[in-house]
Amino acid sequence: MLMLESRPRPSAAADHRPVCRASAQIGLDRFVLFLAVVSISLGVSTCCRSGTDGGHLLFNLVEAIWRRPVPEAYCNWGQQLGILLLVALMMLAFYNDFMRLLE
For residue 73, being part of any structural domain is answered with yes
Domain count across the chain: 1
This prediction has a pTM of 0.53
What is the C-alpha to C-alpha distance for residues 12 and 8, in angstroms, rounded to an integer?
A: 12
Taking only the tens place, the pLDDT of each residue in 7-40 is: 566 666 666 777 778 888 888 888 888 888 888 8
For residue 6, being part of any structural domain is answered with no
Domain of residue 66 covers 13-102
Indicate the Cα dihedral angle 55, 61, 64, 69, nearest 10°: -50
Has residue 1 got a pLDDT over 50?
no
What is the C-alpha to C-alpha distance for residues 15 and 96, in angstroms, rounded to an integer?
A: 10
For residue 89, being part of any structural domain is answered with yes
For residue 43, being part of any structural domain is answered with yes
For residue 5, being part of any structural domain is answered with no
- Beta carbons within 8 Å of 32's beta carbon, 6+ residues apart: none
**φ, ψ at 49 (rounded to 5°):** -65, 150
Closest CA to 86 of 58, 55, 49: 49
For residue 76, being part of any structural domain is answered with yes
- Residue 92 identity (one-letter amino acid): L
For residue 59, being part of any structural domain is answered with yes
For residue 2, being part of any structural domain is answered with no
